[in-house]
Amino acid sequence: MLEKQTLCPPNAAPAVGPYNHAVRVGDFLFCSGQIPLDPATGNLVSTIDIRPQTERALLNVQAILEHAGLNFSNVVKTTVFMTDLKDFVAMNEVYAKFFTTQFPARSAVQVAALPRGAKVEIEAIAHF
């Protein structure tokens, strides 16, 4: 049986429920979905434009990856949840600034709502 290790980076945005920021099992890190919360304030960034929300969500993912000694090149799969697929192009513009080579597999889906009124949530799976 593989050992499960939980990660809760001190500089990450606060969790909004009873879960860990990430769980390591073997050579894989499973990052919980990150919404665009500012780690300093715990507040949601811009509620109007998905671009700053996508950037903040990915910066929150980055904080988790870095705490584990990883970066975006280690990510093998992401899932992007959006409340409106009409925002796909704008989200993708920001996403492409974080993933520039060796793109991970990805799913992008529209959902009815996200925690705290976010427009986007991003989860990731990384490999050590």
pLDDT in tens, 92-124: 999 999 999 889 999 999 999 999 999 999 999
- Assigned CATH topology for domain 4-127: 60s Ribosomal Protein L30; Chain: A; (3.30.1330)
Number of H helices, E strands in the chain: 2, 6
| pTM reported for the whole predicted model | 0.96
pLDDT in tens, 84-97: 999 999 999 999 99
Interval 26-36 mean pLDDT: 97
Domain ranges within the chain, ordered by starting residue: 4-127
Q: Measured between alpha carbons, how far is 69 from 49 in angstroms, rounded to an integer?
A: 31
CA distances to 101, 116, 119 from 108, rounded to whole Å, are 19, 20, 13
Beta-bridged to residue 125, according to DSSP, are 30, 77
For the packed helices 88-98 and 50-67, what is the interaxial angle rounded to 10 degrees?
Answer: 30
Amino acid at 32: S
Backbone phi and psi for residue 61, each to the nearest 5 degrees, phi listed first: -65, -45
Torsion sign, CA atoms 49, 40, 82, 125:
positive
Beta-bridged to residue 25, according to DSSP, are 4, 28
